[in-house]
Amino acid sequence: MITTYEAAPGIDVLTTNFAVPGLGLVPINAFVLHGQEPVLVDTGTVVQSEDFMTALRSVIDPSDLRWIWLSHTDFDHIGSLHQLLAENPRLTVITTFLGAGIMGLTAPLPMDRVHLVNPGQTMTLPDRTLLAVTPPVFDNPVTTGFYDDTSNVLFSADCFGALLADVPQRAEELSEETLREGQMFWVMADSPWLCKVDGGVFAKDLDAMRRLSPDHVLSSHLPAASGASLDRMLASLEAARAGTPFVGPDQAALEQMMASMGAAGSE
């Protein structure tokens, strides 16, 4: 089930949750920036593509979209990409050279419908300028978030995601401890390389995010957050750098889980 809500004036969120067995829920978000040239940020999961299109139609006519900002090419971001391109010949996909290349291994993008933007470069639309940024943590080298100067919103791709027991609509509804622990778990699972990063180098990355001073932070995997939460969220990343990368259950643990689920199912 995909639901929608307004994260900030002129910005809708399309959201669903992905259950990680035995561990919790990960929100999965896409965003619509309404404006003179509407932008869809990511296109949902592959498994929920039809639901995604229904939810999208409830907030905008897909034929009105002008751009898809593809933060990266993971399966939770490309679900309705090709359906949207087929339905709307005016749509162009903003991605990187690597993004277009990786899509070529599964469902090639027509290169005349691709616009390449690298971190540090900007996309100038009639009513806004989007500054492409590399968030401090990511799970795919394609990853490109952006800062929108009109709404003063930072779109952070997978960065600032959290594993949660319950998913509220606003990150501010989470306790400080729940937010920190949920974000630390997510980072240690999604970006296990973080523990190898030099503290000084990472601090500069965190400062770069802080300097953007956004009013809102919209992550693909966290409820909409206010800019006032940014310092706390950056602190979660720094704490995760000193943490231990996640190691999933092994075969013995999986068999135990399946046996206990079978026992529970037969009660």
Q: Using CB under 5 A, list all residues that contact Fe ion.
A: 74, 76, 139, 158, 220
Q: Which is nearer to Fe ion, 42 or 51 (CB)?
A: 42
Sign, Cα dihedral of 18, 152, 206, 98:
positive
Question: What is the C-alpha separation between 194 and 164, in angstroms, rounded?
Answer: 21
Cβ atoms of residues 185 and 122 within 8 Å: no
Closer CB to Fe ion, residue 144 or residue 220?
Answer: 220
Per the DSSP assignment, residues forming a β-bridge with 67 are 39, 92
Which strand ranges, in their side-by-side order, compose the sheet holding 114-116? 3-8, 11-20, 24-33, 39-41, 67-69, 92-95, 114-116
Supply φ then ψ for residue 41, to 5 degrees: -100, 105
Angle at 43 (CA atoms; ends 42, 49), nearest 5 degrees:
165
Q: What angle do CA 44, 37, 72 make, to 5 degrees?
A: 35
CA torsion through residues 9, 127, 155, 25, sign: positive
Are residues 253 and 245 in contact, defined by beta-carbon separation less than 8 angstroms? no
Indicate the pairing of strand 122-125 with strand 24-33.
Answer: unpaired
- Gyration radius from the chain CA atoms: 19
